[in-house]
Amino acid sequence: MSDVRVIGAGLAGCEAALTLAEHGVNVQLVECKPVARSAAHSEDGFCELVCSNSLKSKDPLTAHGMLKAELRALGSHVLAAAEECSVPAGSALAVDRKRFSETVTERVLASPLVSVKCEVASDIGEGITIIATGPLTLPPLEGKIAELFGSLHFYDAEAPIVSADSIDMSKAFFAARYGKGDDDYLNCPLTKEEYETFYEALVTADRAEAKSFEKREIFEGCMPVEVMAARGRDALRFGPMKPVGLIDPNTGRRAYAVLQLRKENAQGNMYNLVGFQTNLKFSEQKRVFGIIPALANAEYMRYGVMHRNTFIDAPSAIDACFRAKKRNNLFVAGQISGVEGYVESVASGKSAALHVLSLLGGSEPEPLPPDTMMGALARYVSAENANFQPMNANYGLLPQTEEHIRDKSVRRRALLERSLCSLNKYIKKISGEYK
């Protein structure tokens, strides 16, 4: 009889299963492959990377490097396997995807405490469970999850997010359209010439390749800014770049076109490019959106992405321990929980497993510290947010250091040290709670 059921042997599910087994917990790991597969999965092994083989930066002075440092401190099994299977990729951690999947699969199968059940899960079950079926969760479970949590979102049509301090504020202004409401939007005006240059660059920019199963659904459900632009030279000026009702205080006139930015979080240190969901390659997003004067030196906390993506409405569904608000023995981890990205999925699988260990030890799970990337991400996805979209690791999620440190690398080092210090205290505290 298993103590815990983990559904889905992907990045989150394998991390969770191996963590639980390491602490003596019997796990039933339910995985549909090879009897059934999503349209993006093609291999039989666990932890299949469906797209890029990059797990992003290794540099500890980047947001993804910091996330990895935290996972390393927590003894992540999946990250260790990735590091063992790495291939040269500069400062990025890229893996030989086949070897990576084989390595994790072997470790899961070798664990005497993990029993793998090969089936398409059709229900959530009653016992302690971690749902980790990913962005392409197969039915009928998908329907059961939607029933429990109210609804599921099916598409990622995300606009990029930039850091507030990288926006050229001398070329932007706060205002609400027609003065209705507070000055919630940061407006980035363009002259006619700037708009023409931007428009030409946008419609000719390189797009990321869409997988065949994504094409039909994505273009019916929502429209990338580059697709809208291709419909006509002024389509954006009547859409997300409409200038009406906005007077630029620098000129005293209405601009030819305006991109609006909206605060992404309560601290106001991240801004979303409103209506600019896009499928352009990341380098093209930086180049093309950089033609907008206020964004010339913008730092991207998250690039726009488009793909099919099943995720719960995390703010209403889970708490900062990835635990269902409706059922205290149910956890949701991985991309379906509202985090975005491979390493973020591993991190949420690790967190969910640690919280399950606390529960099994008779303690109330405690969220990871807010000044760690893992804790900040968990807080972000579970915090109230009417326009919730999945989120990846980035510095904008973290509380600032007490004193503002101007030098970027000194600041980042201070954030990293603060995080690892908090995490060590947390590990000491919770390790007494395990069985």
Nearer to ligand FAD, 342 or 388 (CB): 342
Q: Which of residues 342-371 bind ligand FAD (CB under 6 A)?
A: 342, 345
Closest contact distance (angstroms) between CB of 160 and ligand FAD is: 16
β-strand 114-118 against 253-254: which pairing, if any? unpaired
DSSP state of 181: S
Say how far apart CA 352 and CA 244 lie, in whole Å.
Answer: 47
Q: Site mask, ligand FAD, residues 211-250, x = CB under 6 A?
A: x---------------------------------------
SS3 state at 391: strand
CB 26 within 8 Å of CB 1: yes
Among 243, 304, 341, 396, binds ligand FAD (CB under 6 A): 341
**Span near ligand FAD by CB under 6 A; candidates 144-152, 330-338, 363-371, 400-408:** 330-338
Tokens of 286: 């930086």
Our finding on whether 130 is near ligand FAD (CB under 6 A) is no
Our finding on whether 334 is near ligand FAD (CB under 6 A) is yes
Our finding on whether 79 is near ligand FAD (CB under 6 A) is no
Question: In degrees rounded to 5, what are phi and psi of residue 242?
Answer: -70, 135
Residue 330 to residues 132, 145, 325, 333, Cα–Cα distance (Å): 11, 11, 9, 10
Among 7, 71, 288, 332, binds ligand FAD (CB under 6 A): 7
Among 24, 51, 209, 268, binds ligand FAD (CB under 6 A): 51
Our finding on whether 210 is near ligand FAD (CB under 6 A) is no
Report the run of H or E that residue 330 belongs to, with start and end. strand 330-332
Say how far apart CA 188 and CA 171 lie, in whole Å.
Answer: 7
Q: Which of residues 295-314 bind ligand FAD (CB under 6 A)?
A: 307-309
Q: What amino acid occupies position 53?
A: N
Closest contact distance (angstroms) between CB of 277 and ligand FAD is: 16
Among 21, 104, 136, 159, binds ligand FAD (CB under 6 A): 136
Closest contact distance (angstroms) between CB of 4 and ligand FAD is: 15
Our finding on whether 286 is near ligand FAD (CB under 6 A) is no
Among 4, 5, 8, 149, binds ligand FAD (CB under 6 A): 8
HSE-CB for 107 with a 13 A CA cutoff: 24
Nearer to ligand FAD, 11 or 188 (CB): 11
Our finding on whether 120 is near ligand FAD (CB under 6 A) is yes
DSSP strands (E only) in 169-304 = 173-174, 185-190, 247-248, 253-254, 257-263, 270-273, 300-302
Closest contact distance (angstroms) between CB of 123 and ligand FAD is: 10
Our finding on whether 114 is near ligand FAD (CB under 6 A) is no
Residue 341 to residues 37, 261, 345, Cα–Cα distance (Å): 20, 24, 6
Among 28, 129, 137, 351, binds ligand FAD (CB under 6 A): 137
Say how far apart CA 182 and CA 174 lie, in whole Å.
Answer: 9
**Span near ligand FAD by CB under 6 A; candidates 103-111, 131-139, 215-223, 278-286:** 131-139
CB 341 within 8 Å of CB 68: no
β-strand 253-254 against 257-263: which pairing, if any? unpaired
Question: How many residues bind to ligand FAD according to rule CB under 6 A?
Answer: 36
Closest contact distance (angstroms) between CB of 208 and ligand FAD is: 10
Query: What's the chain's length in residues?
Result: 435
Please give the residue whose beta carbon sits closest to ligand FAD in the complex: 10
Nearer to ligand FAD, 124 or 415 (CB): 124
Closest contact distance (angstroms) between CB of 183 and ligand FAD is: 35
Report the run of H or E that residue 308 belongs to, with start and end. strand 306-312
Burial letters 141-173, b for 16+ CB under 10 A, else e:
bbebbbebbeebbebbbbbbbbbbeebeeebbb
How far separated are the first and last CA of the chain, in Å rounded?
Answer: 17
CA-wise closest residue to 153 among 340, 394, 323 = 340
Nearer to ligand FAD, 13 or 243 (CB): 13
Nearer to ligand FAD, 259 or 324 (CB): 324
CA angle 281, 282, 283 (to 5 degrees): 95
Our finding on whether 45 is near ligand FAD (CB under 6 A) is no
Peptide bond into 367 cis (omega under 30): no
Closest contact distance (angstroms) between CB of 213 and ligand FAD is: 8
SS3 state at 152: strand
Nearer to ligand FAD, 135 or 240 (CB): 135
The residues that touch ligand FAD, with contacts defined as CB under 6 A, are 7-13, 30-33, 40-41, 50-52, 120-121, 132-138, 141, 211, 307-309, 334-336, 341-342, 345
